[in-house]
Amino acid sequence: MAAQRNQNNEEKILATLAKSVVDFKVDDCRAAALKVLDFGIDPTLAVMKGLTKGMEKVGFLYDANEYFVLEVLMSAEALYAGLKILKPHMKKDRDLPNATIVIGSVAGDSHDIGKNLVKVMFDTAGWKVHDLGCDVPLDTFVEKQLEVNADILAISAMMTTTMMGMKKVISMVRSERPDCLIMIGGAPVTRDIAYLFGADGYAMSAGMAVSEGLDMIARSGKKTRGLY
């Protein structure tokens, strides 16, 4: 009975969190994020099933011409307000192997909300993340990868026009570091495209990025170089 009540509370709070992002209500989002903490709900679950879910709905509303740029940006503001409260409480998974990641959104692409959520999940895995930001020149990915020799290079693209840049980065990095593991993602990307471009992995959502990273490392048979 009590367990059922807790379950109902959790569902309600996560739904409120998602709705506050969709309705671009910054204060409601903060209040729902604080409730997540008060009720002992897993903050990582709240980021995925609340904030991310809400922002994905915003994407659909934009595609359906129900939302425009202003609404989308206000929703992102609500999402980040909630994330600011939840992120410090997201528990790092100590049981995973250490890994270093380089991540960024490809040149010409200023979309970074999805990429930032993927980064949060890598942080939560306890991995060291070098975030290059958005609209990252192709050479910069290569330079950073050569500098830190990351276990995984993760690239995001949200537009069909910019995603070809990822193919170029992959071949540029491969010619310097053939064994570098590369994961790509973003709305126009599929697993088939990822493999066609020569990437080692793909994840459809931030929630799947860590397990995909672990699979990539396991498949490669390489030991991770760890945090540095």
Footprint of ligand B12 on this chain (CB under 6 A)? Answer: 52, 55-56, 59, 62-63, 69, 72-73, 76, 108-115, 117-118, 154-156, 158-161, 183-188, 203, 205-206, 209
Q: How far is CA 204 from the centre of its chain?
A: 10
31 vs 61, which CB is nearer to ligand B12?
A: 61
Least distance in angstroms from the C-beta of 40 to ligand B12: 24
Kindly state the smallest distance separating residue 78's Cβ from ligand B12, in Å.
13
Q: Which is nearer to ligand B12, 187 or 193 (CB)?
A: 187
The minimum distance between CB 164 and ligand B12, in angstroms, equals 11
Are the CB atoms for 198 and 143 separated by under 8 Å? no
With the C-alpha atoms ordered 167, 172, 177, 178, is the resulting torsion angle positive or negative?
A: positive
Element (H, E) at 26: helix 26-38
CB of 133 to ligand B12, least distance (A): 10
- Helix axis angle for 53-63 and 69-86, nearest 10°, is 180
Coarse DSSP helix, strand, coil percentages of the chain, rounded to the nearest 5 percent: 60, 10, 30
Please name every residue paired with 131 in a beta bridge, in sequence order, or none if there are none.
103
**In the complex with ligand B12, which residue's Cβ is closer, 34 or 73?**
73
Q: How far is the CB of 43 from ligand B12 (least distance, A)?
A: 16
The answer to whether the CB of 212 falls within 8 A of the CB of 201 is yes
Nearer to ligand B12, 155 or 180 (CB): 155
- Residue 45 vs 187, nearer CB to ligand B12: 187
Q: What angle do CA 142, 155, 221 make, to 5 degrees?
A: 80
Minimum CB–partner distance for residue 97 and ligand B12 (Å):
18
Q: Which is nearer to ligand B12, 9 or 174 (CB)?
A: 174
Check: CB of residue 66 under 8 Å from CB of residue 33. Answer: no
CA distances to 71, 167, 200 from 194, rounded to whole Å, are 31, 9, 7
